[in-house]
């Protein structure tokens, strides 16, 4: 069975998966695609990550990387593109990224009329799965710490975001300069999401955004091969996790979590979709947590999470 260095577990309409797929395209990366259902259960993924519910997940053998922020860090090394690293030195660009992945992202859905949203989802999923989708997303947001804007306020939020983005792109090809950087991909996916929901007219009146968006989209998704779950499972079973990163125990930000290394822990996002994953905490760095899951089916797996936006507690 052919081995792939990179496998992405995703679904086509996932905005955050589009962020990663665009990185593949601009980075010229060959990758294996394993399609997941839009909502749990995900039989291709659940056995590997142990309950993590967000999409996408990047797989390299017996290592699973959760959250697009950490995936960007991995792709920076894989593609030799340091500009993919999630580091934002420009305060204005950092604020734009925060807006893009916060209120602007959620306003794409909350600004759409319920009837239009229902019609769109029924067209994609059918009536039964649309009802399941609404139930699932309601459950996902039940204990969320974020409160997205709604209705006319949501529409205003997205217009203000486009205004800021258009201004930021004035006189430059990309937010990263002459080529896309991490900030571009963070901002690209909510714009792509908005256009997929509302059509190209969503960006009318913002010429810099339209030019930039075309350049971001036209590089495609790289060299993509369609795989089945069996390929991902074989890659996990036939591999050993890679060497653990340097724990950097003297880093101040590690003081709280480092004493938990070697203990059984639960890790979950802090904002929404807070389904926990459990395992042994085996590494803590300024950038990530790594937990080990020992499974009968695949042996030892290492599941990686970013530090920012996730919490870990002993169980």
pLDDT given for residue 297 in this prediction: 97
* 104 secondary structure, DSSP code: I
Instruction: Say if residue 15 is exposed, middle or buried (CB neighbours under 10 Å; 0-12, 13-18, 19+).
Output: buried
CATH code: domain of residue 191: 1.20.1050.10
Residue 98 and residue 26 in one domain? no
User: How far apart are the C-alpha atoms of 271 and 123, rounded to whole Å?
Assistant: 29
pLDDT given for residue 129 in this prediction: 83
206 is a domain residue: yes
Residue 147 and residue 34 in one domain? no
pLDDT given for residue 161 in this prediction: 97
Question: Confidence band (pLDDT; 50, 70, 90) for 61?
Answer: very high
Mean pLDDT of 58-74: 97
Indicate the range of 31-40, 93-102, 130-139 predicted with least confidence.
Answer: 130-139
User: How far apart are the C-alpha atoms of 127 and 159, rounded to whole Å?
Assistant: 31
Question: Confidence band (pLDDT; 50, 70, 90) for 89?
Answer: confident
User: How far apart are the C-alpha atoms of 106 and 96, rounded to whole Å?
Assistant: 15
DSSP-assigned states of every residue in 178-192: SS--HHHHHHHHHHH
pLDDT given for residue 118 in this prediction: 80
Q: Quote the mean pLDDT of the chain.
A: 91
1 is a domain residue: no
* Enclosing domain of residue 132: 90-217
pLDDT given for residue 252 in this prediction: 55
Residue 106 and residue 213 in one domain? yes
Residue 108 and residue 131 in one domain? yes
C-beta pairs of 70-78 under 8 Å, 24+ apart in sequence: 70/287, 70/288, 70/304, 70/305, 70/306, 71/20, 71/23, 72/20, 72/23, 72/182, 72/185, 73/287, 73/288, 73/306, 75/20, 75/23, 75/24, 75/27, 75/29, 78/5, 78/6, 78/27, 78/29
* 229 secondary structure, DSSP code: H
What digits encode the pLDDT tens for the residues 9-52? 999 999 999 999 999 999 999 999 999 999 999 999 999 999 89
Q: Which residue has the tokens 């890790």?
A: 267
Residue 97 and residue 197 in one domain? yes
pLDDT given for residue 251 in this prediction: 55
pLDDT given for residue 269 in this prediction: 95
145 is a domain residue: yes
Residue 98 and residue 202 in one domain? yes
Contacts of 266 (CB under 8 A, 6+ apart): 276, 277, 278, 312, 313, 315
Question: Confidence band (pLDDT; 50, 70, 90) for 197?
Answer: confident
Mean pLDDT of 206-233: 96
What digits encode the pLDDT tens for the residues 276-300? 999 999 999 999 999 999 999 999 9
pLDDT given for residue 149 in this prediction: 80
pLDDT given for residue 222 in this prediction: 95
Q: How many folded domains does the chain comprise?
A: 2
**Share above pLDDT 70 across residues of the chain, in percent, rounded to a whole number:** 96
Q: Which of 64, 45, 129, 27 is nearest to 300 (CA)?
A: 64
Mean pLDDT of 124-137: 81
Inform me whether the pLDDT recorded for 57 exceeds 80.
yes
pLDDT given for residue 115 in this prediction: 77
Question: Confidence band (pLDDT; 50, 70, 90) for 135?
Answer: confident
* 146 secondary structure, DSSP code: -
Question: Confidence band (pLDDT; 50, 70, 90) for 256?
Answer: low
Mean pLDDT of 88-107: 93
User: How far apart are the C-alpha atoms of 273 and 142, rounded to whole Å?
Assistant: 9
Return the HEC string of 199-217: CHHHHCCCHHHHHHHHHHH
């Amino acid at each position: 069975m052919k081995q792939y260095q990179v496998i992405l577990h995703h679904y086509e309409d996932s905005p955050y998966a589009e962020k990663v797929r665009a990185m593949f395209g601009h980075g010229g990366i060959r990758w294996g695609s394993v399609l997941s259902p839009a909502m749990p259960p995900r039989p291709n993924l659940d056995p590997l990550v142990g309950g993590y519910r967000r999409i996408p997940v990047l797989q390299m053998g017996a290592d699973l990387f959760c959250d697009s922020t950490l995936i960007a860090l991995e792709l920076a090394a894989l593609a030799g593109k340091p500009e993919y690293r999630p580091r934002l030195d420009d305060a204005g660009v950092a604020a734009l990224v925060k807006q893009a992945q916060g209120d602007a992202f959620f306003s794409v859905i909350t600004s759409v009329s319920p009837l239009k949203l229902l019609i769109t989802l029924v067209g994609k999923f059918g009536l039964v799965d649309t009802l399941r989708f609404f139930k699932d997303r309601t459950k996902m947001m039940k204990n969320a710490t974020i409160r997205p804007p709604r209705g006319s306020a949501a529409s205003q939020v997205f217009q203000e975001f486009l205004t800021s983005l258009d201004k930021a792109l004035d006189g430059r090809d990309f937010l990263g300069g002459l080529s896309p950087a991490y900030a571009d991909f963070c901002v690209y996916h909510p714009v792509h999401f908005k256009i997929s929901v509302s059509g190209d007219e969503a960006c009318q009146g913002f010429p810099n955004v339209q030019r930039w968006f075309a350049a971001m989209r036209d590089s495609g998704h790289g060299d993509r091969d369609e795989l089945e779950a069996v390929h991902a499972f074989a890659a996990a079973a036939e591999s050993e996790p890679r060497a653990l990163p340097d724990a950097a125990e003297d880093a101040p930000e590690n003081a709280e979590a480092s004493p938990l290394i070697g203990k059984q822990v639960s890790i979950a996002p802090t904002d929404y979709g807070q389904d926990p994953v459990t395992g042994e905490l085996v590494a803590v760095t300024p950038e990530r947590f790594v937990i080990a899951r020992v499974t009968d089916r695949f042996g030892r797996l290492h599941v990686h999470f970013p530090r920012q936006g996730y919490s870990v507690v002993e169980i």
